[in-house]
Chains A and B, each alone.
Chain A
Amino acid sequence: MAVREGLLALLHEGPRHGYQLKTEFEAATGGVWPLNVGQVYTTLDRLERDGLVGVSDNEGQKVYSITVDGVSALGAWWEAAPVDEPPPRDELMLKVLMAIERSTERGDAHAMSVITHQRTVLHSMLQSKRRARSVATTSLAARLVTDALVVRAEADLRWLDLCEAQLNGTPTRKARS
């Protein structure tokens, strides 16, 4: 994942210790992206190996700073399109597609009940996110992370609506069978 670039972005603000990077990374991502210290040092070692980060010693503690190459790598990352996993292959999609596949023999009832149930489950999740968001005196980062989850759940729910509409005897479905 983009932990490398996240650390570079923090180092772009100035030199830091490894542990400091861990804490700042977690704060900046609203607490949803915990790093273990080992992972931070492994990543820093690789960044150093690739010439993107330099190390100096300050009273026995290692201090990391970004190099010129590091700055340009970071610049390229801000510009690049985010690369997620290749085409959507998430579990929800698999569930619904498999349910529809089975339905070709058993009728649409099974697929519809899977869609109905998944919709309810997603809504329950949205409700609990909402509650968590309104209870906690959370940071801006934490609120934005929750918003991201909410928006993604909304997208999944819209997709379920489309699945249901198509199964409900639209031309698309009829043409297929």
Chain B
Amino acid sequence: MNDPVLELVDVVKTFGKGSTEVRALNGVDLAVSPAEFVAVMGPSGCGKSTLLHLAGGLEDVSSGRVRVAGRDIGDLDLASRAALRRTDVGYVFQRLNLLPSLTALENVALPLKLEGVGRREASARSLDALAAVGVTEQLSRYPDDFSGGQQQRIAIARAIVVERALILADEPSGALDTMTGDSVIELLSSLPGRFGTAIVLVTHEPRFASWADRVVFMRDGVVVDQTASTVPVSAAGAAT
């Protein structure tokens, strides 16, 4: 039994005030175990991206708690929170993951550079990460020279170049064709087994969600149902 790597308890998130208030999340409970791959689905506007933003410490809850790797995000000062974003949590978005002015290799090495890792070691580790996602050629080219699927692989390499407890992915296959998208999600699904990373994937596509250990369904800012997980449920249990 492992403690959850991500835990949301009765999380509420509102935007705006008074008559224009929007309740993006309305009491979400969710626990993700280490090395668990969870897919989140639901209609547009049901709060999926907001959930990821809160899980990654990009935004604050209105009420409730978010714990990442055993730490309550609400208790962290700005510096610790920035450190958490740099080291514990990785992101992959639908597009624009990579800086166009850096080469593929430099993009992947960026998190290491920010951590003060030396040039030589950073380069070696970045090459390893790129090899792990199957990108081994033309690494001194710029992101534009790569196909959409290759760019997402490079973004994933950047997310795993630092050892992460958790990777948050918001429709990473949203801009790709079915076969390419599937191979990117297949790659994501291999990360828990290879690196022990937990993954929360937001997707509209049932076929992509089917790679996950558990699929969570949201509607109007709450979790309405979920499939049984195929990995051992953490001590806190899968919130229902």
Contacts and interface: CB of A to CB of B under 8 A. Distances in A.
A119 B217 contact: yes
A161 interface: yes
Contacts of B225: 116-117, 119-120
Interface string B205-222: 111011110010101000
A17 to B, nearest CB: 39
Interface residues of A, number: 20
Chain A interface main SS type: helix
A127 B227 contact: yes
A97 interface: no
Contacts of B186: 134
A24 interface: no
Interface residues of B, number: 18
Contacts of B230: 127, 131
A49 B207 CA distance: 46
B228 A124 contact: yes
Contacts of A154: 205-207
Interface of A: 116-117, 119-120, 122-124, 126-127, 129-131, 134, 150, 153-154, 157, 161, 164-165
11 contacts: A116-B225, A119-B225, A120-B217, A123-B215, A124-B215, A124-B227, A127-B212, A127-B215, A127-B230, A153-B206, A161-B43
Interface of B: 43, 186, 205-207, 209-212, 215, 217, 219, 224-228, 230
